[in-house]
Amino acid sequence: MSSSGEVLYDLRPLARSNWEYRVDGLESEFTFTLRICDNSTQHHPIAQWQRGGDSGALGTVGGKPRKRGNKLLVEYADGDACPGAAQRNRSALISFICEAHADSEYGQPEFVAEWNQCEFMFEWRTPLACVSRKLASEESNGEQSGRAGEGNGASRGSVAFVVIFVVGSVYILGGFLYNRVFNLSSGLRGIEQLPNYKFWRGIYLFSKRAVLLLADGATRLVDAVRGRRGAIHIDAAEHNIRNEIFASTADEGEGDALPFALR
């Protein structure tokens, strides 16, 4: 269980289904049996009362624990009907208080007060109500592990880069020294002394030609698209009409009216 906010509490050791806590109601003459909610008791009464020959339920845990000051509150609700008030149901409130040195391992609930045999209040001093440093440290360790994982990923990338760089350097330098010192009969000079020079030069020339061909093809495609978009299509009838207009204006001696092809 945890309260709202960043403060964490661990009440799980109290939530074992086979653990019951009997509490003496002192002058109220009640005797109570309390259990902390777990999955097996989620929908069953886990806080009960006895008085004389009568018994009943105080209810089940009504919600998440709430933090009030230095106390952690757990409420039991929907118990039996209150005496003389059928519209109300019995309920109980347990106030967990931090007690690092309790009488027992997890402390013991104690009866505090009751109101009209309907509402009951208990106090439980236990080290479990102290801030759970274990949980906080586990979360901190989880965050550190996450950051360490990210760091490991970055370090693996750096190692791979260093390995590739070292292998490449050894390959180039070793091949160059071999051709220069032990392979003099080949007649290699200058850059030709690099290892597998012809092979790498062939790859370079092939890549260069491929890039040039792709660039030329892209240029031709763009020009073709632009040419189709800029073309003006004139049907035969419109062409004849324009010829008649330009021919008539040419006979009248108006040079400015001539088509561009005749100017």
Residue owning tokens 């039996």: 80
pLDDT digits (tens, 9 = 90+) for 130-140: 875 544 455 55
Please give the CATH topology (third level) of the domain spanning 12-131: Cation-dependent Mannose-6-phosphate Receptor; Chain A (2.70.130)
For the chain, the straight-line distance linking the first and the last C-alpha, in angstroms and rounded, comes to: 96
CA 39 – CA 187 distance, rounded (Å)? 85
CA 131 – CA 94 distance, rounded (Å)? 17
pLDDT at 195: 79
Which tokens is 153 given?
């990923």
Give pTM, 2 decimals.
0.46
pLDDT at 21: 85
Could you say which residues of the chain have pLDDT below 50?
1-5, 39-41, 43, 134-136, 254-263
In 80-168, which ranges are E strands?
81-82, 85-89, 91-98, 109-115, 119-126
**Do residues 171 and 191 make contact, with C-beta atoms less than 8 angstroms apart?**
no
Domain positions in the chain: 12-131, 135-195, 232-263
Name the percent of the chain in helix, strand, coil, to the closest 5: 45, 25, 30
pLDDT digits (tens, 9 = 90+) for 53-101: 888 888 888 777 888 888 888 888 888 899 888 789 999 999 998 888 7
**Do residues 22 and 33 make contact, with C-beta atoms less than 8 angstroms apart?**
yes
pLDDT at 111: 93
